[in-house]
């Protein structure tokens, strides 16, 4: 090779290196823009989560309002009567003097006589009345005679309610003191003035809640129909009580549980499942129904059932009670569909499983990069190992994409970095119970009595 060829090759190499440097600068610029865009997306996701939570609160309030019993006609009449009694003004009609005659046993026998006293007629225009024009008559109360107003409630004008801070207030009726004065020469006891009596708003109807199901957060009626249209927040808050979670388990924030499970209703099961629950060993289930005893998903020989075996210590948001909804971090496409679900509810001294019901599963979203980035090192290492070693779709495709972006040999650190930056995301699997097969559970219970394992 002559010197000219060598010089030409060096020139080409120099040109390629400068082009490569320009490409790298362009790549770095795009990465900065992508990070800025992701930060904006995270802010929007946070705002969307807040709106979802507010929407869930409004739905729960609406469901509680809808469960309130209708107001009866008697209650309406009683409320109208109370309003009339509570807004009356001193009448201007005639006064009847009632004489108290004491019989031998001390009981009062009133006798009425028409009084010659009268008051001027009252104007019918209630709008011209004010609190300053309220008359406060002074009535002498003695042992022998009392002045009593005899006007019917229907003839009394009603004072309009005044609103203070959006709450209607009405003036209470005048009240007569309970103090009984035996001495006629003592000062008279006046009727309490409305100006001296503080107005009180009408009391609100107390909220009525349905009975709580024995299991956490469940509400059912006697007929088994749910009285709630959403999962109460207390159900989500108490899901993990008494449950030991492994260090490498993916923990979802409570707002994500509320976002994805807040609209789900636990399946009402009537009569309720056996108590105490029927706990089964995994080996017994697989020997009776068929299938693999080590995998999350397996196919059984019993009527073609597809079975899922989530472990609560590794998947703390999976179904924890029969009929309850669940959420799992899982990208596998072979776990979407209709499944019989057994959850491992006990680890020691022997792992035991409980039948949860028949479920429908679906992928409802992807885990945001910010949530994965906030997980512990154990969680990140566990997911990097799963994506690196498992052959279930879509894990091979995820490995191929990460390796292509890197342009070199793939490591688990590359997988963690891709998940932290949002280049790859973990799927979220929602589990909803659609039925509870009692005959299937009875079949397992009969087989358990004769099982020799």
State the DSSP string of 233-299: HHHHHTTTTT-PPPTTS----HHHHHHHHTT--PPP-SSPPPSS--EE-HHHHHHHH-S-SSSSEEE
Q: Is 71 helix (H, G, I), strand (E, B) or coil?
A: coil
Residue 325 CA to residue 210 CA, distance in Å, equals: 20
Determine the Cα–Cα distance for residues 150 and 152; give it in Å rounded to an integer: 6
* Cα 136 from Cα 122, distance rounded (Å): 14
Strands (E), 73-155: 95-102, 108-114, 145-149
Is residue 357 left, alpha or beta, with left meaning phi > 0 and alpha meaning psi from -120 to 50? left
What pLDDT score was predicted for residue 24? Answer: 84
What pLDDT, on a 0 to 100 scale, did the predictor assign at position 387?
A: 96
**Residue 4: strand, helix, or coil:** helix
Q: Are 155 and 84 contacting, i.e. CB atoms less than 8 angstroms apart? A: no
Answer for the pair 151, 93: CB distance below 8 angstroms, yes or no: yes
Per-residue model confidence (pLDDT) at position 187: 52
Q: Tell me the average confidence (pLDDT) per consecutive run of 10 residues in the chain, 453 residues long.
A: 76 85 84 81 76 76 76 58 48 47 46 51 46 45 44 46 49 48 48 45 38 35 36 44 80 87 89 92 94 93 93 91 94 96 89 96 94 95 96 94 93 96 95 96 94 79
Instruction: Kindly tell me the sign of the dihedral angle through the C-alpha atoms of 373, 377, 379, 383.
Output: positive
In this prediction, residue 118 carries a pLDDT of 53
CA separation for the pair 368, 363 (Å, rounded): 14
Distance set, CA 177 to CA 29, 190, 236, 426 (Å):
85, 8, 55, 75
Q: What is the DSSP letter of 121?
A: P
Phi, psi (rounded to 5 degrees) for 414: -65, -40
End-to-end CA distance of the chain: 80
Predicted pLDDT of residue 130: 43
| Confidence (pTM) | 0.50
Where does 296-423 show beta strands of DSSP type E?
297-299, 306-308, 326-329, 337-346, 352-366
Q: What is the pLDDT of residue 195?
A: 46
The strand pairing partners of 429, in sequence order, are: 328, 363
Closest CA to 168 of 200, 135, 127: 200
Classify strands 279-280 and 297-299 as parallel, antiparallel or unpaired: unpaired
Beta bridge partners of 147: 97
């Amino acid at each position: 090779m002559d010197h000219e060829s060598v010089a030409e090759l060096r020139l080409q190499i120099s040109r390629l290196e400068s082009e490569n440097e320009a490409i790298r600068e362009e790549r770095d610029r795009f990465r900065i823009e992508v990070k800025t865009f992701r930060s904006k997306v995270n802010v929007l996701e946070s705002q969307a989560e807040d709106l979802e939570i507010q929407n869930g609160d409004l739905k729960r309030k609406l469901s509680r309002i809808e469960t309130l019993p209708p107001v009866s006609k008697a209650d309406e009449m009683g409320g109208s009567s109370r309003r009339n009694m509570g807004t009356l003004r001193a009448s201007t009609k005639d006064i009847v003097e009632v004489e108290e005659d004491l019989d031998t046993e001390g009981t009062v026998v009133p006798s009425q006589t028409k009084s010659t006293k009268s008051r001027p007629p009252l104007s019918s225009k209630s709008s011209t009345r004010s609190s300053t024009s309220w008359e406060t008559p002074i009535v002498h109360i003695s042992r022998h005679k009392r002045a009593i107003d005899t006007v019917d409630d229907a003839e009394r004008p009603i004072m309009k309610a005044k609103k203070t801070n959006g709450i209607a207030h009405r003036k209470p009726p005048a009240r007569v003191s309970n103090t009984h004065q035996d001495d006629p020469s003592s000062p008279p006891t006046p009727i309490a003035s409305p100006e001296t009596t503080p107005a009180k708003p009408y009391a609100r109807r107390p909220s009525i809640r349905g009975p709580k199901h024995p299991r956490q957060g469940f509400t059912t009626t006697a007929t088994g129909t749910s009285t709630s249209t959403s999962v109460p927040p207390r159900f989500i808050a108490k899901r993990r009580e008494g449950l030991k979670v492994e260090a490498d388990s993916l923990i979802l924030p409570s707002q994500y549980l509320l976002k994805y499970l807040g609209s789900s209703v636990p399946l009402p099961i009537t009569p309720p499942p056996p108590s105490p629950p029927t706990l089964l060993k995994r080996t017994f289930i697989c020997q009776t129904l068929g299938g693999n005893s080590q995998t999350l998903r397996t196919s059984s020989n019993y009527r073609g059932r597809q079975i899922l075996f989530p472990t609560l210590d590794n998947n703390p948001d999976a179904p924890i009670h029969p009929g309850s909804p669940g959420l799992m971090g899982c990208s596998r496409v072979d776990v979407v569909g209709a499944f019989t679900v057994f959850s491992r509810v006990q680890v020691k001294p022997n792992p035991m499983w409980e039948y949860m019901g028949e479920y429908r599963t679906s992928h409802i979203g992807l885990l945001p990069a910010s949530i994965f980035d906030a997980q512990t090192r154990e969680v990140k290492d566990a997911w990097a190992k799963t994506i690196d070693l498992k052959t279930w779709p879509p894990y091979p495709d995820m490995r191929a994409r990460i390796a292509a972006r890197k342009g070199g040999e793939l490591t688990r650190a590359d997988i963690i970095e891709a998940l932290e930056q949002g280049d790859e995301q973990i799927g979220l699997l929602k589990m909803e119970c659609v039925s509870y097969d009692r005959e299937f559970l009875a079949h397992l219970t009969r087989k358990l009595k004769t099982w020799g394992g």
